[in-house]
Amino acid sequence: MRYAVYFTNSVLFELDEIEDYIARDSPIRAISFVEELQKRMRDTLSTTPNSGRIYKQSTRFIALSGYIVLYEVEETAKHVHVLHIVSGRTDWKA
């Protein structure tokens, strides 16, 4: 059974920031990169939501395309809530 994947408003804002950053060099690539990133998050988390490593309590994380995706799995409802997406180059655990 596939899980439904939901993006919080924070994640949507962070994706906009990623797109804006990439658009400084390539506006077209910025759009396609963010679309691909969203698709990879949905594909991965809808089929293997518990594959990510545990970060804190019920929050897990995975690395995708140079970014760290933080999320929580709601087993009974079969939902995944993506909480944040941050650059893997930063000290995101701080």
Average pLDDT over residues 65-87: 95
pLDDT (0 to 100) of residue 47 = 96
pLDDT tens digits along 46-68: 999 998 999 999 999 999 999 99
Whole-prediction pTM value? 0.91
**Helices and strands (H and E) in the chain: how many:** 2, 5
* Burial environment of residue 8 by CB neighbours within 10 A (0 to 12, 13 to 18, 19 or more): middle
Domains and CATH numbers, the chain: 4-87 (3.30.2310.20)
pLDDT tens digits along 9-29: 999 999 999 999 999 999 999
